[in-house]
Amino acid sequence: MLLVEDDDTIADPLSKGLQREGFDIERVSSGTAAMEAPQPDVVLLDLGLPDIDGYEVCRRMRATSDVPILFLTARSDEIDRVVGLELGADDYVVKPFGFRELVARIRAVVRRRGPERRQASNGGSPLRVDGLEVDRRARRVVLGGGEIDLTPKEFDLVALLVTDPGAVFERRRIMEEVWGHPWYGPTKTLDVHVASVRKKLGDPGWIETVRGVGFRLRPSA
Ligand code: CA
């Protein structure tokens, strides 16, 4: 993990704590050093750096890498959050943050990105459940040999559910991951998309409703 933070009073205890949690930490204190560091598996990125600001570091990293990036920010206003996430950051924590919360966020980001990266490191093999095949790199869904024509959001929905067949995904989590983050609005649009995907897959049983909770992809028979 790459920790990019110029403030020693934050970086020192944070590095030690994260190491105790089993993370391998490389710490740098400028944007330039962050760009020159070896490709990490996760980046914790302070926004206020002495040379290049964190937004710019994020933008440049995103140009060449899909590494999970979490912003550490002292600026809590909404605009900054939105801008940060539009740049392709995966999440953010606002200083002063609790250590437990940060560790939970890091683990969540890594977990979310895991299947995509696993597919990438796996020579790009699509994820399969029974006759359903989801290729996240090519953004294609094939069922029984025939390609299914999905809208971008429908694809994202299926691509999320297929990462853990049989596991229930909460409505709120699906909304956050497919429609944007954070999500506080109504989730009716999710039902509309699920109905459409079921129709296109030709069998409503592919996506099971877990009443009051969310949805899951039918696990392998
Ligand atoms: Ca700083």
Asked if 41 and 3 touch (Cβ cutoff 8 Å), the reply is: no
User: What is the fold of 123-217?
Assistant: Arc Repressor Mutant, subunit A (1.10.10)
Task: Write the pLDDT tens digit of every residue in 34-85.
Answer: 999 988 889 999 988 999 988 889 988 888 888 889 988 887 665 566 566 6
CA of 74 relative to ligand 1 center, distance in Å: 8
In this structure, the dihedral spanned by the alpha carbons of residues 128, 133, 136 and 141, taken in order and rounded to 10 degrees, is -160
- Looking at the chain, the domain(s) classified CATH 1.10.10.10 span 123-217
CA of 113 relative to ligand 1 center, distance in Å: 26
- Looking at the chain, the domain(s) classified CATH 3.40.50.2300 span 2-119
CA of 70 relative to ligand 1 center, distance in Å: 14
Six-digit token string for 173: 């989590």
CA of 38 relative to ligand 1 center, distance in Å: 21
Task: Write the pLDDT tens digit of every residue in 165-176.
Answer: 899 999 888 887
CA of 57 relative to ligand 1 center, distance in Å: 13
CA of 181 relative to ligand 1 center, distance in Å: 24
CA of 67 relative to ligand 1 center, distance in Å: 21
CA of 64 relative to ligand 1 center, distance in Å: 24
pLDDT at 26 exceeding the cut of 90: yes
Six-digit token string for 158: 């299926």
CA of 109 relative to ligand 1 center, distance in Å: 22
Quote the CATH superfamily of domain 2-119: Response regulator (3.40.50.2300)
CA of 117 relative to ligand 1 center, distance in Å: 29
pLDDT at 97 exceeding the cut of 90: no
Six-digit token string for 115: 């299947």
| Contacts of 204 by beta carbon, 8 Å cutoff, 6+ apart | 198
CA of 28 relative to ligand 1 center, distance in Å: 12
* Sign of the alpha-carbon torsion through 107, 180, 166, 120: negative
Separation between Cα atoms, residue 166 and residue 91, nearest integer Å: 26
